[in-house]
Chain A
Amino acid sequence: MVKKSKIITFFIIFAVLVGIVGSTTTGIVKKIKLGLDLQGGFEVLYDVKPAKEGQTIDKDTLKSAVRALDRRVNALGVSEPNITIEGKNRIRVQLAGVKDENKARKLLSTKAQLTFRDVNDKVLLDGSDLKGGAAKVTYDQNAPTKPIVQLTLNDGNKFGKVTKQVLGMGPGKNQLVIWLDYAKGDSYAKEAKKEQQGKKPKYISAPAVNQELDQKTVVIEGRFSQEEANNLRDILNAGALPVKLDEVYSNSVGAKFGKQALDETVTAGIIGIIIVYLFMIFYYRFPGLIAIVTLSFYIYLNLLIFYWMGAVLTLPGIAAFILGVGMAVDANIITAERIKEEIRSGKSIMSAYKAGTKRSFAPIFDANLTSIITASVLFAYGTSSVKGFALVLIVSVITSFFTNVYVSRILLGLWVNSKFLNKKPRYFGVKESDIHEL
């Protein structure tokens, strides 16, 4: 007698899986972050160098530099930037889907080094005199709609000295010129003329100093819009870090190229996976069908985990993923092959299933565990793309073990225990003539 309850259980599980996968896959796939090689964008790797002699680059400097870059990128309205520390003195910035790349690039590499200079462009104060992260937007007491940027200095006395010095330069020359990213060749004289002609000068502002100021807080009154004031605050809080960033690697991918790469790779993957599925049905029959169900579930689980982890899918990542499907098939092949062997040796379908699944467990376990050892080492010692690759490998080995060992067994077990497959070796791809008599 065929136990219908087992078969019904199978179809219930199957329907639940199909329901979950069918209803959520599109949403998940859309939300998975794509690397810039797939959606266009650019990536820069910076060598972090001391801005001043004697400064050391340590973990804290790097971390604050990353925070600074992150804040700046956010302030510039770039969504989902990816900024990571690499090695001892590198920072990688990846901005995917940037529309105006030239602008973003320029803003990123803006040193955001604030300097206070006299009219002869001599530096009086620089970013290192500012208290890190303390810039604020406030409003002019007399004109409450006019945003101003307030800074805090480390040392109030120093500002006293500076203002005294500027004051001493005499009327007409008593400006304290505030520059952002003063470049060689810039001069106050040149820019002041521009300002007189009604053009925007390169410096932020040049207030006249009328008295010595022994205070820690300083306000910059440019003619800011609210947004400009906010940007300046963000950039100053970032720029308060006196590090120098040198580009050592940069990669920029056009959006069309990325789209094309994505489409082609996904198409190739789908074709490859369909052929693997056909191969499994052709060769392993019933266990092959079960394998298709669990492999599809495996693919779904992997995508889900990538999404949960916020992993960024890159071109080699997708390729490794598609390849992972090929390798995940192995667990099914080992089990199915073992069951076939047991059937050929004359065992009944049910005992062949029991012996086959039991005996195929050790090799699958050992093989997967060594893969995890390899991947963990790669994850611990590798950098950037190797690390990402290792992570994909670890995730896929674990999900593969879960789906293609446990789920496969449960599903196949339901059919075997229902006795539906009894005396049907052909359903396992075994010819009756190949079966040895016990």
Chain B
Amino acid sequence: MISMSFRNPNFHFDVVKQRKKFFLFSGLLTIIGIVCLLTIGLKLGIDFESGTRVEIGGKNLNAEQLKTDFKELSLKPDGEPVISGKNNERATVSFIGQFSRTEVANVNTMVTKKYGSVNINTVSPDVGRELARNALISVLIASIGIIIYISFRFEWLMSISAIVGLLHNAFLIVAVFSILRLEVDLTFIAAVLTIVGYSVHDTIITFDRIRENMKFTKVKTTADLYKVINDSIMQTLTRSINTVVAVLITVVALLIFGNESIRNFSIALLIGLVFGTYASICIASQLWYVLKSKQLKKPRVKEADNQA
């Protein structure tokens, strides 16, 4: 267990000291992500592109035979049928454009008779795009809600740091999917949303400890701040790691034993969880250190006013 090494309460790692390395690392990842998204973009599944996907379940499926079968129905697959499974028991065939009702019926009848089971998914692109757009707007609105809540319960610099961590994390999942050329479908949106929820959750636990420790220590200098953040991270580190390990266990189980159709969903979660923990500790907390330090260094105009 990785977490075992943190059982020793004397274990200490100076996280704040490494902050510039973390910023550099995240900055680089973000730049690579932007470049990838702008150049190669995302590999969009049919949920976002007009098209039809037919999945076939049967025995010893053969791409050539499938092409002939579809030719008989006057349908031309876009690219080669993809055969998968140990005994070639699964095939995915894509088509450009939507199927008409008759075409769906024909394919349905043909495959059911000849092979066994069939999934047919036909989409016009606006539906998926609308869903993605709505999800994006929702995340932005939710971010505002979270900023308000954290400002109210904690302080507003923490809310900014938490949101930067969250957006950084959500963006990285999208970027990794672009780099690894993984197909983006509707479940991907659900995965990103889960991670958005998890990221804030995780960050709050660390911030809570900082808030608590600040009650006991008067933070006057950046050195005080440095110590409070490092201590708080160390005190919550076991929890952070154990929680992410628990969630990762379920995700890995889904990845290994789960259904193929949620494979990408699980991969997105896996990436998001690892980056989520990283973002809470190495980005959100460190960003807060930078912002708070600046605030501390500012001349205390308000106090002076009060004294006058």
B262 lies within 8 A of chain A by Cβ? yes
CA–CA, A377 and B135, complex, Å: 10
Q: How many residues of A contact B (CB 8 A)?
A: 77
Q: Are B204 and A381 in contact (CB under 8 A)?
A: no
**Residues of chain B lying within 8 A (CB to CB) of residue A276:** 246, 249-250
B165-211 contacts to A (CB < 8 Å):
186-187, 189-190, 193-194, 196-198, 200-202, 204-205, 208-209
Residue of B57, B248, B257, B269 near A271 (CB, 8 A) is B257
A256 lies within 8 A of chain B by Cβ? yes
Q: Are A329 and B246 in contact (CB under 8 A)?
A: yes
CA–CA, A377 and B123, complex, Å: 26
B55 lies within 8 A of chain A by Cβ? yes
User: Chain B 109-134, CB within 8 Å of chain A: the 1/0 string?
Assistant: 10010001111111110110011001
Residue of B190, B258, B269 near A265 (CB, 8 A) is B258
Nearest residue, chain A, Cβ from B4 = A283
User: Distance (Å) between the CB of A240 and the closest chain B CB?
Assistant: 23
Nearest residue, chain B, Cβ from A263 = B259
User: Distance (Å) between the CB of A274 and the closest chain B CB?
Assistant: 9
Q: Are B249 and A272 in contact (CB under 8 A)?
A: yes
B245 lies within 8 A of chain A by Cβ? yes
Q: Are A105 and B245 in contact (CB under 8 A)?
A: no
A78 lies within 8 A of chain B by Cβ? no
**Residues of chain B lying within 8 A (CB to CB) of residue A271:** 253, 257
B235 lies within 8 A of chain A by Cβ? yes
Q: Are A367 and B3 in contact (CB under 8 A)?
A: no
Q: Are A105 and B197 in contact (CB under 8 A)?
A: no
Q: How many residues of B contact A (CB 8 A)?
A: 80
Q: Are B101 and A374 in contact (CB under 8 A)?
A: no
Question: Which one of B28-36, B60-68, B76-84, B144-152 contacts A?
Answer: B144-152
Q: Are B262 and A341 in contact (CB under 8 A)?
A: no
**Residues of chain B lying within 8 A (CB to CB) of residue A267:** 257
Q: Are B249 and A105 in contact (CB under 8 A)?
A: no
User: Distance (Å) between the CB of A165 and the closest chain B CB?
Assistant: 35
Q: A327 and B266 in contact (CB under 8 A), knowing A101-B108, A377-B141, A383-B131?
A: no
Q: Are A373 and B146 in contact (CB under 8 A)?
A: yes
**Residues of chain B lying within 8 A (CB to CB) of residue A102:** 105, 108-109
**Residues of chain A lying within 8 A (CB to CB) of residue B145:** 373-374, 377
B65-119 contacts to A (CB < 8 Å):
98-99, 101, 104-105, 108-109, 112, 116-119
**Residues of chain B lying within 8 A (CB to CB) of residue A382:** 131, 134-135, 138
Q: A105 and B105 in contact (CB under 8 A), knowing A373-B142, A373-B146, A385-B190?
A: yes
Q: Are A252 and B253 in contact (CB under 8 A)?
A: no
**Residues of chain B lying within 8 A (CB to CB) of residue A412:** none
CA–CA, A254 and B116, complex, Å: 9
B238 lies within 8 A of chain A by Cβ? yes
User: Distance (Å) between the CB of B200 and the closest chain A CB?
Assistant: 5
Q: A249 and B142 in contact (CB under 8 A), knowing A257-B117, A370-B149, A382-B135?
A: no
CA–CA, A292 and B142, complex, Å: 32
A351-391 contacts to B (CB < 8 Å):
359, 362-363, 366-371, 373-375, 377-378, 380-386, 389-390
**Residues of chain B lying within 8 A (CB to CB) of residue A325:** 250
Q: Are A371 and B201 in contact (CB under 8 A)?
A: yes
B291 lies within 8 A of chain A by Cβ? no
User: Distance (Å) between the CB of B140 and the closest chain A CB?
Assistant: 9
B288 lies within 8 A of chain A by Cβ? no
CA–CA, A238 and B118, complex, Å: 31
B44 lies within 8 A of chain A by Cβ? no
User: Chain A 84-127, CB within 8 Å of chain B: the 1/0 string?
Assistant: 00010000000000000110011001000000000000000000
**Residues of chain B lying within 8 A (CB to CB) of residue A264:** 257-259
Nearest residue, chain B, Cβ from A275 = B249
A279 lies within 8 A of chain B by Cβ? yes
**Residues of chain A lying within 8 A (CB to CB) of residue B9:** 344, 434
Residue of A251, A254, A320 near B194 (CB, 8 A) is A320
A255 lies within 8 A of chain B by Cβ? yes
Residue of B120, B186, B204, B266 near A366 (CB, 8 A) is B204
Q: A257 and B250 in contact (CB under 8 A), knowing A247-B101, A248-B123, A382-B135?
A: no
Other than the given A248-B126, A366-B153, 7 more pairs (CB < 8 A) read: A261-B259, A265-B258, A269-B253, A283-B242, A334-B239, A337-B239, A367-B208
21 intermolecular pairs with C-beta atoms under 8 Å apart: A249-B127, A250-B121, A251-B119, A252-B118, A254-B116, A256-B116, A264-B259, A265-B254, A268-B254, A272-B251, A276-B246, A279-B246, A315-B259, A323-B247, A327-B201, A370-B149, A370-B150, A377-B145, A378-B142, A385-B186, A389-B194
User: Could you list which residues of chain B lie within 8 angstroms of chain A, going by C-beta atoms?
Assistant: 1, 3, 8-9, 55, 57, 98-99, 101, 104-105, 108-109, 112, 116-124, 126-127, 130-131, 134-135, 137-138, 141-142, 145-146, 149-150, 153-154, 186-187, 189-190, 193-194, 196-198, 200-202, 204-205, 208-209, 212, 235, 238-239, 242-243, 245-254, 256-259, 261-262, 265-266, 269
- Give the top 8 A-B pairs by smallest Cβ distance, nearest first: A272-B253, A254-B117, A326-B247, A363-B208, A268-B257, A256-B117, A272-B250, A268-B258
